[in-house]
Amino acid sequence: MTPIAQHEALAQAYQGITTVVTGRDDADLQRPTRCRGWLVADLLFHLLCDAQRALVALATPADGPPDVDDVSYWRSFPAGGDGDGARHAWWARRSAAAFDRPSGVVRIWADTGPAAVRAAAAADPAGCVRTQGHVLRVPDFLATLTTEAVIHHLDLVLDLPDAPAPGPLACRVAVTTMDGLLSDEAVRPGDWDDAEYLLKAAGREPLSDRDRVQLGEAAGWFPLLG
């Protein structure tokens, strides 16, 4: 996928998040998500932190070479989470709760998400950035942001049945990431659509007995990311 397409995918992913939360009342923003313990506003705050991280990384180019790509980046975060992940989850929830109203998170996201997309469009596609202890090529960095946004889009809409699905280009990036983590030695079951694949790969939905038979040894690799 070309660098331009990666930028377009991120734009689509972030616009998808904006579409889900825009116009929601405070009751909707306090509905549960697929992320344990997080309400919609809590998860949106976590995504806001991602967009802010993107702005910082894209504004401070790093010397190469990269040490991870858009797939191997995820292998540095063990599936199932760890102590640091639990601390971040608690911090994000408390930070989101500090707003006078949940809609306050939406207002900041509405400014920050598009700003991150504009920064992505202006970044040198041949350059590198540093984030979370790794150096990545700009297109690979954008792919990691897109993948996380798509997974969290699916998390956000658990109790929002009228919400739209993630866009097709953004989903393609996330699916490509999961295919890379699954490796060439295995393929997803043919009856999975993209959403089911992503939810099971991210550990949001359990594998069925049929899934395990179809995946064979690869079933033990799930979830592919935490």
128-145 tens-digit pLDDT:
999 999 999 999 999 999
CATH superfamily membership of 3-213: dinb family like domain (1.20.120.450)
Token pair for 11: 């734009």
Q: What is the chain's mean pLDDT, rounded? A: 92
How many residues are present in the chain?
226
Please give the model's pTM, rounded to 2 decimal places. Answer: 0.94
Q: Number of helices and strands (H, E) in the chain?
A: 8, 3
79 versus 188: the higher-pLDDT residue is 188
| pLDDT recorded at residue 89 | 80
CA distance readout (Å), 137 to 21, 36, 45, 142, 192: 30, 32, 26, 9, 31
How, if at all, do strands 134-137 and 61-62 pair? unpaired
| pLDDT recorded at residue 82 | 55
| pLDDT recorded at residue 77 | 78
76 versus 173: the higher-pLDDT residue is 173
Least confident of 43-52, 64-73, 82-91, 112-121: 82-91
Res 80 pLDDT > 60: no
In sequence order, the β-bridge partners of residue 129 are 61, 136
SS3 62: strand
- Among 219, 53, 218, smallest CA distance to 148 is for 53
| pLDDT recorded at residue 146 | 98
pLDDT in tens, 52-75: 999 999 999 999 899 999 999 999
Res 79 pLDDT > 70: no
Res 4 pLDDT > 80: no
